[in-house]
Structure 1
Amino acid sequence: MQENRRRRNKRQTKKKHHLWFWGILIAILIICGSVWMMWNYLNPQKHFSNLKTLNTTKTKYHQAKGTFNILVIGSDERPNQVTGHTDSMLLVHANLNSHKYNIVSIPRDSRIYMQNFGYTKLTSVQSVYQEKYGAKKGVLMAVKTISSYLNVPVNYYLETNYWGFRSMVAAVGGITMNLPFNVTLTHPWYADDQNKTFTKGKHNLDAKMVTEIVHERDSLPGTDFGRQRLQEDALVGIANKVSNPVNAFKIPALVNSTSKFLVATNMNKTDMISIALAVANNFDAKKQLHYFQLKGTNEVAYDNILENYNDEIILNKADLQKIISNKLDN
């Protein structure tokens, strides 16, 4: 009887081991399947295909799978305000197949015609529409207007402001900027930073000073064009910091805290994570980031919105279309 009991216990133990083995195997298969499904969903080449655009363009524009255009807007919107002027505009064309990112900086003082309003600067478009339609719809209308003006389809937009940009830099622990020229702070956000000077070259900067530097304009060569170069260098610094493998674990936390960085966007969290996965793949800013400035001529012209004459930039349409054809349509 005892022998039968031992044999029965042995069979039960063996059966339990089999159940334990198959349970673990099934769990592994479920986890692997879930990971595969998630990766398949977030895979940049598949995720960014057949994208919708926020506005139609007059010319035929080819958009390959794995490519998209983002309009990044930096506004002067203050806390608890519903309107803001556009201080900076960057059109980013991302090609996740070639891992190249072309960035076109658009002058804020570019002259534009707004239907039913008249001529004004691009910097005023956002404020005009937000006063008429409210904060959320207003910025979307501004994005569509800029898209039509450049004749380039926009898939996503991101709007940040002083506090959002500062929070973004703080979240990655500050950045290194390679200043292309000396910078003197003539209109800082904080009075104690007045007349501080940073020499040309590399500087390890905290969030406050990065935001002060990219806000500077009057002391720079080319004023607004000089500011654009500083914004470029700040973006490179942020990209280098985020793409560093040491900081990879911070990406989900950064994505989950985008409300601190962004005033408005049509991009969801899965879009952001998919982009992070693509950029984190052996990112090299010197080889993969390419920066271009739209040039034009300075003219004194009448502004129907401001009801005065002021300095405005008339963009060269031929140069604009050349950049779009060569750098944004592939």
Structure 2
Amino acid sequence: MSSLVVLIVLFGFGFYEFQKLQPKNHFKNAPTISAPTTSQSTRTSSTEENSTDQLKDIPKLKENVLNILLIGSDERKGKNLGHSDSMILVHIDLNNHQYNTVSIPRDTRVHLDGYGYTKLTSVQYIKQATSGAKIGIEAAVNAVSQLTGVPINYYVETNYEGLQSMVDALGTIDVDVPFDVELTHPWYKENKDKVIKKGTQTLDGEMTTELVHERYSLKRVDFDRQLLQEKVLIGIAKSAVQPSHLTKLPKLASTISDFLIASNMSKTDIVSLGLALKDVNPDQDVKYYQLEGQSESLYDDILQNNNSQIVLNEEELQEVMKHFK
């Protein structure tokens, strides 16, 4: 079946273009998002709030090694502002066929130049409000790069409507739900108090959206929501790499605007990435990491009040990030 996929893509793009689309050719000189606008520190003392942070010197990755940041925004249709509600960093090593992902807590404490200390989720919102959509998303990407100390080549941002459209384009996805999830804060009011049961569930776009949106009923709140988002990501990946869907890659790439709010990936980037991942088994070939930290009540310079923020364990952070370099 994989040879049939190659033939169909080859027919659609032509031999020369197909060769350029081969992942090791296409991503040989992947861009690195630079000019960070956000610096990060684990400092919590108010006496240090006005000091100048030094931006980390972040080296580039090797050829054919990529870091892609997946951002889920709470931006609603027709609006131009949104918080970074979820962030998943994906590492793809085409040389060694190694794939890693890590979820980054939305409430992680970071320092935003010109504003002070705040939550990671607020960086995109405040920079969009003051400098526009593109600057906002790039600020969020650079915040993650500075936080983790690893370069980021591409970003892909979607919102709940985009996620719903993406899953609906695939039909349904199977999600290994690790625990019962009661929808106490649903995206759609008619779904309030419904329960998505523990176990493998076949979900459409709407219920997938509800699953990744819920956090208030979860025992570990955002950390459990990160786990749910990981399970949904696996479900989408497993569905997307099915041969019947891989043949639709050119068509899906041409309608990518239906799913995404923003991305620096071109249509050919997306098609080439699909070719790179066509034989990946999300259950066996991908390693999943989750960053945890200490929840503390700290002063937020943007919101001008104390709120719950997560201070990551620096040693644990560096140990995980070894797999993203």
Q: CA deviation at 1:62?
A: 5.7
Q: CA deviation at 1:229?
A: 0.7
Counterpart of 1:156, as a letter, is Y
Counterpart of 2:28, as a letter, is S
| 1:116-127 paired onto structure 2 within 5 Å | 116-127=114-125
TM-score with structure 2 setting the length: 0.87
| 1:43-192 paired onto structure 2 within 5 Å | 43-55=22-34, 58-59=56-57, 61=59, 63-192=61-190
Counterpart of 2:290, as a letter, is Q
Q: CA deviation at 1:75?
A: 0.7
Structure 1 pair 61–323 and aligned structure 2 pair: CA distance change class (3 A): farther
CA distance in 1, matches of 2:222, 2:298: 18
Whichever structure has more helix as a proportion of its residues is 1
CA distance in 1, matches of 2:169, 2:146: 34
The match for 1:328 is 324
Contact 1:55 1:147 in 2 (8 A): no
2:280 counterpart of 1:301: no
Structure 1 pair 248–50 and aligned structure 2 pair: CA distance change class (3 A): closer
Q: CA deviation at 1:253?
A: 1.5
Which residue of 16, 39, 52 maps to 1:37?
A: 16
CA distance in 2, matches of 1:177, 1:98: 28
Q: CA deviation at 1:60?
A: 5.8
Q: Structure 1 residues 282-291 or 173-182, which shifts more?
A: 282-291
Deviations 1:161-181 (A, max 9, x none): 011111000100010001011
Structure 1 pair 293–190 and aligned structure 2 pair: CA distance change class (3 A): same
Q: CA deviation at 1:142?
A: 2.2
Q: CA deviation at 1:252?
A: 1.5
Q: CA deviation at 1:153?
A: 0.7
The match for 1:271 is 269
The match for 2:4 is none
Counterpart of 2:172, as a letter, is G
* Structure 2 gaps, min length 5: 1-9, 36-54
Contact 1:185 1:212 in 2 (8 A): yes
Deviations 1:242-282 (A, max 9, x none): 101122222112111110111001100111000001111x2
CA distance in 1, matches of 2:31, 2:196: 43
Where 1:54 maps in the other structure, the secondary structure is coil
Which residue of 241, 244, 248 maps to 1:243?
A: 241
Structure 1 pair 222–65 and aligned structure 2 pair: CA distance change class (3 A): same
Deviations 1:210-258 (A, max 9, x none): 1101111011231101111111111111111110112222211211111
Counterpart of 1:315, as a letter, is L
Where 1:287 maps in the other structure, the secondary structure is coil
Contact 1:99 1:279 in 2 (8 A): no
The match for 1:283 is 280
Report the RMSD for the aligned CA atoms in angstroms: 1.7
Structure 1 pair 139–62 and aligned structure 2 pair: CA distance change class (3 A): closer
CA distance in 1, matches of 2:101, 2:58: 21
Structure 1 pair 52–247 and aligned structure 2 pair: CA distance change class (3 A): closer
| 1:246-265 paired onto structure 2 within 5 Å | 246-265=244-263
Structure 1 pair 144–60 and aligned structure 2 pair: CA distance change class (3 A): closer
Where 2:283 maps in the other structure, the secondary structure is helix
CA distance in 2, matches of 1:98, 1:180: 31
CA distance in 2, matches of 1:126, 1:63: 25
Contact 2:120 2:143 in 1 (8 A): no
Where 1:283 maps in the other structure, the secondary structure is coil
Structure 1 pair 60–80 and aligned structure 2 pair: CA distance change class (3 A): closer
Deviations 1:125-170 (A, max 9, x none): 0001001111122212221222122211111011110111110001
Q: CA deviation at 1:121?
A: 0.2
Where 1:87 maps in the other structure, the secondary structure is strand
Where 1:152 maps in the other structure, the secondary structure is coil
TM-score with structure 1 setting the length: 0.86
Identity of aligned residues (%): 46
